Structure 1
Amino acid sequence: MVRLRLFGILLLLSNGIALAQDQPSFKPLRYNEDYSYLAKDSSRTFYEGLKYIPFSKQKSDSYLSVGGEARGQYFYIQNEDWGDSENDGDGYLLSRFLLHTDWRFSKNVRAFVQVQSSLASSRPITTPVEENPLDLHQAFVDVSAFDTDHSSMAFRVGRQELSYGSQRLISVRENPNNRQAFDAAKIMYKTKDVNLDLFYSHYVLAKKGVFDDGFNKDTRLWGAYSTFKSVPVLGGIDAYYLGFYKKSALFADVKGRELRHSVGSRVFGGLDSWNYDIEGLVQFGKLGSSKILAWTASINTTYSFDDIFLKPEIGLKAELISGDQGEKDRVGSFNALYPKGAYFGLAALIGPSNLAEFHPSINFQLAKDLEFSVDYDFFWRYSKADGIYGVNMVQIYDDGGSQNRHIGNQLIGALLYNPNRFLTLRGEFTWFQAGNYIKDVSAGKDIYISGLTAQVKF
């Protein structure tokens, strides 16, 4: 009851704030927000006073900022796990609370601290991704080496969120209840046309206690991620290398220490009403005594008809993601590392490994702040010798001896309402029609999911 009341208070507060304010949108990574512009406002409101609390009257870049969010979700699922789990008669509630403070001591030094509380109600069995009562989510320090009109370099050390590119490999995991973080050291170099990050990190494994998400020595992620902006003809280009280590991993029927290297590139941009995002990467290394050779390729494109009634936007996405071929001493299963949790819709039923996917969609602008979208996914197994995986890269079902590739089709309809930058409301319905492979390895029932989400940011 306490958290429901708190969420209600924040909901009312957000509407009141929104009527009085005209400010930039919140960033997906909250530590990227900069409220130093409020130093010029001598008549700051109560809300603006939270976003800009000056340490010094002489220095506009020396201040404290406070922010956060509250999100509540209700889900009802029929035939969870394609009928292999018992039906929950009345659904369940998920809630997430985030609170952060951003300490800007000077132009060159800042600290960012954020706590997270993720809770679940009426859910028979929960994972730490759904329920993590209270923990230190982020706590890092930035030190700037130099910052000129042409380039800058900064060092960041501590617990932090990482997000790169289309979030296919490294994401904040926004849609699931508990966002993910890394204990990391990072160098960030920027110019007008180039961004380059070098980092070394340990993944923070969520646990279901209070302030118990400690340092995790069993998984490591390191790499270099570069973005080249305004490239002639192509638009933007990402080029990256990622190294990954896990003390114990399991793919297909191979188990052991995993050392995996990912090398990839992404081309993205737009031309008038057309937007595109094309990515490909190769993975190699060792899992136990077996060699790794895996890959993925994807294309995601949209076209907007801005001059037509309801401004329809048509999208088309296609992906090929390798799976194990059953070869002795070779693992072909792709590891998506730390992707966005709801990879194929909010339902998050299947993860990105051993898949061939075709995904048309359409979005309508019903009103200024109201959108309706429909998308339809076709899923097949890329390899018959491998099964399907969850978004956490844990195998859901093995090949089961099935010779069928068709996993199923997924229809999603969603209504999104954004009356202001503080409040988001979303309603969604998912129907997953079981294919022949699912029928071979499980109870084979169709899954039906309905969900409601309300989110407030401040």
Structure 2
Amino acid sequence: MVAVAAACAMPFAANAQVSTNLERAPTLTIERYSEDWSMLSNPANRKGRWTEPFKYIPLGDGGTIYLTTGVEARSRYEDYENVNWGSSPDDSYAWNRLMPYADLHVGKVRMFAQPILSAISGTDRMKGPADTTGVDMLQAFVDVEVAVPGDASLQLSAGRKLVSFGSGRFIDRRYGTGVPLPFDGFEAILTGKTRQLTGFYLLPVDTRPGGFNDRHSRNKAVWGVYATQWLDATRLNGFDVYYIGLRDRNAIFDQGAGKQLAHTFGSRIFGDDGAWHWNVEAAFQLGAFAGHRSEAWGAGAETGYRFRSTPLRPEIALTADIVSGDGDPDDPKLGTLNSLFPNGKYFGALSPIGPRNLVHVRPSISVRPHKDVALSLTGVAYWRESTADGIYAIPGLLVRSGRQSDARFIGKQIELATSWQVTSELNLTASLSAFYPGPFIRDTGSARTIRMAGTQATFRF
């Protein structure tokens, strides 16, 4: 995929969305609240863009009280043939969402609000939490900046928020689906020139069809500490260390269902020198499941190279992951890694399986036939890490049990994607994907090739 020099843009499995020419709007983000438009208080910094009057609206003298506004409008169409390798009916639908926001700054205090209006059309199947939430509040929180000694800043945050840590391997925003995943909770973020330390306690929000009925989960909670050390002023090179705790009162694995308490310890090394980029991460997970001990692990690496002076500016990348599965379903000790809340489109636009009990290798190549257009071709091969465990969907649901097959190879996938940055605000994408089943899928049920076509239009300022 086409990477943009951001340390958090390269997860265990690379972000599958193709991006083009993001340099034209470098301050736009997915979560929106991290954008800083205070520089527009100085008329010399204004470029005459039509969006500038919406990004900095002074509400008092001195420039310390101001309002920032913006919106995202997105429509995405997906068409699936042979859902679940033919065991479920074909499906096609359109996700539509509108997400305006208002960001009020009053000195060291800021109040951020982002409602969401979402809908799904064209399908009669049961609607899931990622499909639609009607009209609801996606984000609503208060930040306070507290003075601390030295050149650091301490930010305290409480409310509902889209959150992603590091590469998004364990906690991410589920942005690619119809409805992103917010969290209710608290954060304390201590930031210096070259390092950052975040402590958090978060409850995932159960998004539901219907208006203003989203509530935080009573079954799940996450907490922890995430530390980053940057090696230079660009913040593109550095390393992370982290601890994340999870409580899930109804965790589901091939071994069974029960209460899980998981403690995940991990580290990540990341970097980008403009040509090469890399991301290496490993994690170890301890805890208990259904009253018995659990122990799991995962590791992965991504590296890529951009040929910046070559025609079409090609980029090649290789990603590989290994994520532990359970070695014996009859042994009460659990060995399957709980990946918590990973990206909603983990391996690409077509992602029938998620990062549990998995080995995957993913080469890709992208080119830019025009400065605003990118094309990418990605291939993925999947194996089970343990032949005694099944395969899982991205949210963690069991897709197929491993008890009926000793085969390790799950299948292979190919995806062709394109993206056109029409203007700084409008992006159009399209993708074609196919997942070819391997011996494990053939042994455990229907084994037709899944085919998927998707198109998307996103307007954001």
Q: Is the structural similarity TM-score above 0.5?
A: yes
Stretch deviating more after TM superposition (234-243 or 369-378)? 234-243
Deviations 1:210-247 (A, max 9, x none): 11112333211100001000079x94101000000011
Q: 1:83 to 1:350 in 2, by over 3 A?
A: same
Distance 2:383 2:246 in 1: 27
**Deviation of the 1:272 alpha carbon:** 5.2
Q: How much does 1:84 deviate?
A: 0.5
Unaligned runs of 5+ in 1: 1-21
Matches of 2:149 and 2:30 in 1, distance apart? 25
For residue 34 of structure 1, report the CA deviation from its aligned partner.
1.5
- Give the 3-state SS of the residue equivalent to 2:216 in structure 1: coil
User: Aligned residue for 1:293?
Assistant: 295
Matched, 1:338 2:367: no
Cα offset, 1:148, TM superposition:
8.0
Partner of 1:393: 396
Aligned pairs for 1:93-112 (under 5 A) are 93-106=94-107, 108-112=108-112
AA aligned opposite 2:241: A
Q: Is 387-396 or 91-100 further displaced after alignment?
A: 91-100
Task: Report if the CA contact (8 A) 1:25-1:421 is conserved.
Answer: no
CA distance in 1, matches of 2:148, 2:419: 39
- Residue 149 of structure 1 deviates from its aligned partner by 7.8
Residues 57-96 of structure 1: matches in 2 within 5 Å? 58-88=61-91, 91-96=92-97
- The alpha-carbon distance between structure 1 residues 45 and 360, as it changes in their structure 2 partners (threshold 3 A), is closer
Paired residue type of 1:282 = F
Q: CA deviation at 1:307?
A: 2.0
Structure-2 separation of matches of 1:276 and 1:289 = 39
The residue that corresponds to 1:260 in the other structure is: 262
Q: Secondary structure at the match of 2:28?
A: coil
Match of 2:366 in 1: 363
What is the letter of the counterpart of residue 302 of structure 1?
A: G
Report the AA paired with residue 350 of structure 2: A
Moved over 3 A (4+): 22-25, 42-47
Aligned to 1:129: 130
- 2:27 and 2:35 in contact (8 A); partners too: no
SS at match of 2:442: helix
User: 2: distance between equivalents of 1:153 and 1:221?
Assistant: 21
Equivalent residues of 1:254, 1:287 under 8 A apart: no
User: 1:268·1:278 contact (CA, 8 Å) conserved in 2?
Assistant: yes
Report deviation, 1:24: 4.3
Secondary structure in 1 aligned to 2:454? strand
Q: C-alpha separation between the residues in 1 aligned to 2:25 and 2:337? A: 42
Given candidates 353, 356, 361, the residue that maps to 1:353 is: 356
TM-score by length of 2: 0.90
State the distance in 2 between where 1:396 and 1:154 align.
41
Aligned counterpart, 1:328:
331
Counterpart position of 1:179: 180
1:162 alignment counterpart: 163
Q: What is the percent sequence identity of the aligned residues?
A: 33
Question: Once the two structures are superposed, what CA deviation does each residue of 1:350-378 show, in whole Å capped at 9, x if it has no partner?
Answer: 11000010111101111100010001000
Residue type of the alignment partner of 2:180: R
- Measure, in 1, the Cα distance between the counterparts of 2:282 and 2:424: 34
Letter aligned with residue 323 of structure 1: G
Quote the residue 2:4 is aligned against: none
> Which residue pairs with 2:53 in the alignment?
49
Match of residue 11 from structure 2: none
SS in structure 2 at match of 1:30: coil
**Count of residue correspondences:** 432
Whole-angstrom CA distance in 1 between matches of 2:41 and 2:169: 38
User: Would you say the 8 A contact 2:86–2:448 is kept in 1?
Assistant: yes
Q: 1:215 to 1:317 in 2, by over 3 A?
A: closer
Higher relative contact order (CA 8 A, sep 6+): 2
Deviation at 1:394, TM superposition (A): 0.7
1:220 aligned partner: 221
| Residues 27, 36 of structure 2: 8 Å contact kept | no
Contact 1:377 1:409 in 2 (8 A): yes
| 8 Å CA contact 1:324, 1:383 repeated in 2 | yes
Q: Deviation of residue 23 (structure 1)? A: 5.8
Q: Which amino acid aligns with 1:182?
A: F
1:19-38 to 2 correspondence within 5 Å? 24-38=26-40
How far off is 1:253 after superposition?
A: 2.0
- Deviation, 1:421, is 2.5
Alpha-carbon distance, 1:150 to partner: 2.1
Match of 2:19 in 1: none
Hey, what's the Cα distance between the residues in 1 that align with 2:259 and 2:310?
55
Q: Which amino acid aligns with 2:269?
A: V
The answer to whether structure 1 residue 144 and structure 2 residue 148 are counterparts is no
Over 3 Å counting, the alpha-carbon distance change for 1:23 and 1:297 in structure 2 is closer
Q: Structure 1 residues 148 and 367 mapped into 2: Cα distance closer, same or farther (>3 Å)?
A: farther
Give the 3 Å change call, closer, same or farther, for CA 24–148 of structure 1 in structure 2. farther
- Equivalent residue for 1:14? none
Instruction: Deviation per CA, 1:281-303: give whole Å up to 9, x if none.
Output: 00110111121111100010001
CA-CA distance at 1:147 after TM superposition: 6.9
Q: Is the 8 A contact 1:82 1:444 kept in 2?
A: yes
Cα distance in 1 for residues equivalent to 2:297 and 2:281 = 11
1:411 aligned counterpart, secondary structure:
strand
| Code of the aligned partner of 1:28 | I
CA offsets, 1:130-178, max 9 Å, x none?
Answer: 1111111111111111278821111101111111111111111111111
Give 2:3's aligned residue: none
**Which one of 273, 276, 289 corresponds to residue 275 of structure 2?**
273
CA drift of 1:45 comes to 6.9
Give RMSD over aligned pairs: 1.9
Q: Say whether the 8 Å CA contact 2:183–2:216 is kept in structure 1.
A: no
Deviations 1:11-32 (A, max 9, x none): xxxxxxxxxxx76431222001
User: C-alpha distance in 2, partners of 1:201/1:222?
Assistant: 6
Q: How does 1:109-124 map to 2 (within 5 A)?
A: 109-124=109-124
Distance between the aligned counterparts of 2:454 and 2:155, measured in 1?
A: 41
Cα shift readout 1:305-339 (whole Å, capped 9, x = no counterpart)? 12222111110011100011115121111111011
Q: Go from structure 1 to structure 2 and tell me whether the alpha carbon gap of 1:309 and 1:376 turns closer, same or farther (over 3 Å shift).
A: same
Uncovered stretches (5+) of structure 2, i.e. residues with no partner: 1-23
User: Which residue identity does 2:59 align to in structure 1?
Assistant: F
Q: For residues 112-132 of structure 1, give each alpha carbon's deviation from its aligned partner in whole angstroms, at most 9, with x where no partner exists.
A: 011112211012212121111
Confirm whether residue 424 of structure 1 aligns to residue 427 of structure 2: yes
Give the conservation status (yes or no) of the 8 Å contact 1:69–1:455.
Answer: yes
Q: Secondary structure at the match of 2:62?
A: coil
The answer to whether the Cα contact below 8 Å between 1:434 and 1:446 also exists between their aligned partners in 2 is: yes
Q: Which amino acid aligns with 2:38?
A: S
